[in-house]
Amino acid sequence: MKPSGFVSLLKDSKIKRSCFCALFPTVSVLCLILLLGSDFVADHKEKSLQWKLEKVRSSCENQCRPNGSEPLPEGIIARTSNLERRPLWGYPEKKEPSKYLFAAAVGIKQKETVNEMVQKFLSSDFVVMLFHYDGIVDGWRSFKWSNSVIHISALNQTKWWFAKRFLHPDIVDEYSYIFLWDEDLGVENFNPKRYISIVRDEGLEISQPALDIGKSEVHHQITARGRRSRVHRRTYKAGDTGIQCDYTSAAPPCTGWIEVMAPVFSKAAWRCVWYMIQNDLIHAWGLDMQLGYCARGDRTKNIGVVDAEYIVHYGLPTLGEPEKKKNLTVGGENITSLGKQAPSQASTLNFRVEVRRQSYNEYKIFKRRWKQAVEEDKCWTDPYPESVK
């Protein structure tokens, strides 16, 4: 007879074996589920990761980056610039950055007129840039403001040549309005801040101050000052061109038009105008007739002449005028030093006439280019077909 302890042990062993056999299928199933589940989870994670990578890749491909910046991380890209000067060490004085830019092509002969303009605009918190077409920069050092403005010098170039090269839209993007003026303008009755306030209120994208008809050289009636209005957008009188204007007129120079001796552009309009300025047509004749395409809407509403703030246009012949004491060289001989008279053709050469002739030639070239561009661009629709001649 077996001892009771052995029987008890045997029973316990059988129970354990029985329990193990019962648990084994369950554990096996659980292990299989875990194995399959881990594969499923891993596969799901991989697919999820691939989807996220594809989404990131797609968003990167659709990212609008400046051309040439692709090798750089997005956060380091500086898309625009400005004309604010920085100290060589330390930090600049904290002040509100300028929101407006005044630029003009100038010569030393008009320094007093330019001085009045510069003082007006500097006192109104403008950034001022002077384009020196006569190459003389040191002659302006006598003015206290000389070190406060930006000087750019290139001999015998027009303001449009300078503007195309130094006023790129990305450079002047921080300035709400760009004034691009001639040098022969009187500003006694002009206040830059009040002018900007009016332009904003009226929604003018392209504008100019009216001309004082009693003191100015006026070529187009639309630029003449109206004493009873704050702003006007059309004229009903014929100018020097002889074009008749009335209330039905819908094209320049009767409406939707300014002259280009003192234009003022919103930064959005300037971005468009800059692209229209031809690199090689430096006098920009004909550009004024097409400015309406850059008015960001109806040119008869978004282009205007401000009567409340007006200027004087002296109409001085400056660019292209030869120095009186300049020696004339013909065929390698200095006529002045030899004490001889210059040949009649050379002595009668009028430099201003030559400038005007070149301007007219460029006007014809610009018209041809515009016509060709319109014909070639099948995706472009002219919003002003009535102006086509």
* Block mean pLDDT (10 aa), the chain, length 389: 50 52 57 59 69 65 79 90 88 85 97 97 97 96 96 96 97 96 97 98 98 91 94 84 83 94 97 97 94 96 98 84 46 38 51 88 96 95 74
Among residues 148, 128, 126, the alpha carbon closest in space to that of 193 is found at 126
- The C-alpha angle 66, 71, 72, rounded to 5 degrees, equals 75
Which residue's structure tokens are 């209330």?
247
Question: What are the structure tokens assigned to 379, written together?
Answer: 């995706």
pLDDT at 340: 40
CB atoms near residue 304 (< 10 Å): 29
Among residues 304, 291, 314, the alpha carbon closest in space to that of 116 is found at 314
- Measure CA 336 to chain center: 47
pLDDT at 290: 96
**Residue 38 φ/ψ, nearest 5 degrees:** -65, -40
pTM of the prediction? 0.78
Does residue 308 contact residue 198 with C-beta atoms inside 8 Å? Answer: yes
**Residue 45 φ/ψ, nearest 5 degrees:** -65, -40
**Residue 268 φ/ψ, nearest 5 degrees:** -70, -40
Tell me the C-alpha distance between 79 and 73, whole Å.
Answer: 13
- The C-alpha angle 253, 117, 161, rounded to 5 degrees, equals 60
Quote the CATH superfamily of domain 98-311.
Spore Coat Polysaccharide Biosynthesis Protein SpsA; Chain A (3.90.550.10)
Give rounded-to-5 percent helix, strand, coil for the chain.
40, 15, 45
pLDDT at 134: 95
- Judged by phi (left if over 0) then psi (alpha if -120 to 50, else beta), residue 61 lies in alpha
Question: What are the structure tokens assigned to 176, written together?
Answer: 């709400």
Name the DSSP class of 293.
Answer: G
pLDDT at 331: 36
- CA torsion angle for 136, 137, 139, 140 (degrees, to 10)? 140
Please report, as a single letter, which amino acid is at residue 168: H
CB atoms near residue 126 (< 10 Å): 23
Delimit the domains of the chain by residue range: 98-311
Among residues 79, 328, 313, the alpha carbon closest in space to that of 217 is found at 313
pLDDT at 239: 61
Helix (H) or strand (E) holding 102: strand 100-106
pLDDT at 65: 82
CB atoms near residue 338 (< 10 Å): 9
Which residue's structure tokens are 């015998």?
156
pLDDT at 320: 61
